[in-house]
Structure 1
Amino acid sequence: MIRSLRGWASLWIVLAMGAGVLAAWLWMSSTQAWRDHLARAAQAGHDLAATVLLGAPLPEDMRLVSLGRADQPPGTVEAGMRPSARITSLAFRQPGPDGAGQGGGTRLQVQVVSARLQYPVAELGAEPGAYAGMAALSRDLARLCSDPVLFLRAENGPWWRAESTLWSCAAQPRDWRIGALVLAGVALMALVSHAADMAAGFRDLARGLATRRRPGETADLALTGPEELRATITAVNGYLADERARLARRAMVLSGVSHDLGTPATRLRLRAALIEDADLRARFEEDLDRMGAMIEEVLTFTRAEIAAEPAREFCLAALTEAVVDDYRDTGRPVGMTLDAPASMGTAQSVFAFGRPRRVALPGSRRLLFTGRPLALERALSNLIENALKYGRRADISLRADSARVVLEVQDAGRELDPGSLRRLTDPFQRGDNITDAEGTPISGFGMGLSIVATIAAQHGGELEFEQRPHGLCARLVLPRG
């Protein structure tokens, strides 16, 4: 059984070439067979006219039966057909000795009797002479399947009944041209279908890698497809497993360091309390606080990368309101606007006559979302803290539709250049506005937005920034699918 992509490619190349050669051979052989058949019929018609007009030898595959010198042309009775049969009558004039042919300017009368077909002879009138006209007529008789009976005579001579196997339906060669087209079409569809199936495996791999950043996607990718794709999936699964183990080890090391630093930090605090110089003692305590806060920030960033919290469904509007209420209870300038729609657009369907419909929702303030609530609470808190520290206030706006949720935090801070905005999501990177209006440095380590960007990426979303006239807007965009 073929398992590799190379094997399938080789097989389909051979099969495609074979099908193409066979289809071309069927087409060309059928075309040549019909060309030879019609050429024989045309020559037979030419020789028949020469026999009637000049008494030349009769072709081998043709027979003439004399019907006497009847003034009236024969009809369906002489042809042995029903009165409803179709009769096609025509005449050819062969030029005299001074023209381009022989026959002394004789007129050749022809009558074709068919059980079901009236022959298209309008084009035959343009043929020069009886020989060419009979050749064209015989070619049409051989081309159209009707088993006709042919009567002809020269001027006022006797009527002759001509019989030939070339004009019968059984004499027509088999036409494989439609079969050749069907064979080529089937081969092409099979090749395209299998190629699409192969491509679907790689597309599923890319989709699986993309969805792994969404909540709940932690299992290994399924092994499917050809050997090359399975080897790629195996390598990717191994790489992801190593990354998870590496992050887990880093978190364990940082947790151990944080725990081990607790004891000496406590001793340092006790010893700092014995310092009589109040200013020096305050500086010692401030440095210890910054050290502890920095370790905690790094631990939080590592936990966000690991995403150990399980995903579940919760109300994002309620979570946002709870965070905002906690800040309001302490008198912080934090406001909120909930723009969750009371109705939601649906996809178009044939029953909607091409127009999207809107469906009313039972509760406009209930916004269900599947994700990690503790991580999103930390992300929202970091955005609010940044807005309060650098922009004096935070105005939260939450809106959603069927595809995504957009959480905006607008501050009233100073303008930042685009380069600073792009650097804000890197660890330990801070903007240029790190001092307040009085020039006092604002505390921070540059990890808050890095944590927010990591949490957004784990939910399949992104963190965006927009400089507005009244301050900076941080936008957290999360997909709902």
Structure 2
Amino acid sequence: MRAPFNTLFGRLFGLLLVAIVLAHVLAFFWFHHYGPPPPPRAAFVEQPDGSLTPLRKAPRPWFGGPVVPLTFQFISLIIAAWYGAKLLSRPIQRLSAAAERLSVDLDSPPLVESGPREARQAASTFNLMQKRIREQVSQRARMLGAVSHDLRTPLSRLKLRLEQIEDPKLQGQMRQDLDDMIGMLDATLSYLHEQRTSETRHWLDVQALVESLSENAQDQGRDVQFSGTCAPLQVQPMALRSCLNNLIDNALRYAGTARVELADSRGALVIRVIDHGPGIAADKREAVFEPFFRLEGSRNRNSGGVGLGMTIAREAVERLGGHLSLEETPGGGLTAVMWLPRV
């Protein structure tokens, strides 16, 4: 007997049916006890002098009218509608929260397969999708990792055989090409590692992190300055460090100097990495976030890098729930703007 009410439709239909029946039963009960009495058979009262006086009806109480039963019906239907809306929205909210967790962490726990039949089917389908996505990502990472690893051996042999080439110019060009290929393999493996890594959030003193990165760069003879203050923020520490390192290295590579500015507020922390280099045209600023994309001219492969630094930086910021964009620096150059919400 419980099978028909094990679905979302059955539960909603049963709930509304019970509310309607209950409201009508209450209305019938109320009218039966407090409704207008039937008209009396003797409508007149005989007086002592023999005259007849019309019988006065007893006044009906204020709650004997239709107001109270209609109120019962109205309240019953409101309660049924409210509970029915909760029945409808609860599975959708659970599915939405699970999808949001999945977008941040592929290893997030699966949905609990409980509730009405439709909710269980949706949870089961979602869990199956999550499992297949994990398998595909893992398979792709293993395949690319194996290819990258297997390519190292012939590349290393080629570097050794370069010593037998007598032409110094040709030898230098070939060595540069091999170094570029090895650099691309290393960057690919690093990119795949960033995608696979699921890091929990911790409270971090972002100001201390920026100061540390700036001081480390200055100790290496590089010009990195910082300004501003901020309160601790709940982030993925390694992801944020990787993002800042990539942005600072990018500024130093193309401009020789970098400045990091912190702007804190109640809702978000904004970090700007500013350089005064050649900059990037407005129509190319989104393209640089694509994997292995390199610009022509001063910001190209000859300046270093293989085109993954900005991709890794944006994905790290998005895992933190923020966003990363590029703007033109006043006076010339490029400014990377990182917006991190305070949640």
Return the TM-score normalized by structure 2: 0.83
**TM-superposition CA deviations, 1:418-460 (whole Å, max 9, x none):** 432222222222345x426xx9943333221111121122222
Give me the identity figure in percent: 25
Find the counterpart in structure 2 of residue 187 from structure 1: 77
SS in 1 for 2:326: strand
Find the counterpart in structure 2 of residue 246 from structure 1: 136
1:435 maps onto 2:298 in alignment = yes
Tell me how many residue pairs correspond in the alignment. Answer: 337
Letter in 2 for 1:281: Q
Q: Which moved more, 1:413-422 or 1:379-388?
A: 413-422
1:4 maps onto 2:7 in alignment = yes
Distance 1:236 1:320 in 2: 40
Deviation at 1:174, TM superposition (A): 4.9
Find the counterpart in structure 2 of residue 453 from structure 1: 314
Letter in 2 for 1:295: L
Decide which structure has greater helix share: 2
Distance 2:283 2:15 in 1: 52
Find the counterpart in structure 2 of residue 74 from structure 1: none
Moved over 6 A (4+): 20-27, 170-173
1:60 maps onto 2:42 in alignment = yes
SS in 2 for 1:395: strand
Deviation at 1:17, TM superposition (A): 5.2
Distance 2:25 2:256 in 1: 79
Distance 1:213 1:380 in 2: 22
Structure 1 unmatched runs, 5+: 42-58, 69-159, 342-366
Which of residues 322, 326, 329 in structure 2 aligns to 1:465?
Answer: 326
Q: How does 1:101-180 map to 2 (within 5 A)?
A: 162=53, 164=55, 166-168=56-58, 174-180=64-70
Which of residues 205, 229, 233 in structure 1 aligns to 2:95?
Answer: 205
| 8 Å contact kept, 1:415–1:467 | yes
Structure 2 unmatched runs, 5+: none
Letter in 2 for 1:395: R
| 8 Å contact kept, 1:201–1:224 | no
1:297 maps onto 2:161 in alignment = no
Find the counterpart in structure 2 of residue 397 from structure 1: 261
Find the counterpart in structure 1 of residue 252 from structure 2: 388
Aligned CA distance change for structure 1 residues 196 and 323 (closer, same or farther; 3 Å): same
Aligned CA distance change for structure 1 residues 3 and 462 (closer, same or farther; 3 Å): farther
Find the counterpart in structure 2 of residue 101 from structure 1: none
Find the counterpart in structure 2 of residue 339 from structure 1: 229
Find the counterpart in structure 2 of residue 221 from structure 1: 111
SS in 2 for 1:478: strand
SS in 1 for 2:47: strand
Aligned Cα RMSD in Å?
3.5
Which of residues 150, 167, 173 in structure 2 aligns to 1:260?
Answer: 150
Find the counterpart in structure 1 of residue 288 from structure 2: 424
Aligned CA distance change for structure 1 residues 339 and 4 (closer, same or farther; 3 Å): same
Aligned CA distance change for structure 1 residues 275 and 202 (closer, same or farther; 3 Å): same
**TM-superposition CA deviations, 1:65-102 (whole Å, max 9, x none):** 1469xxxxxxxxxxxxxxxxxxxxxxxxxxxxxxxxxx
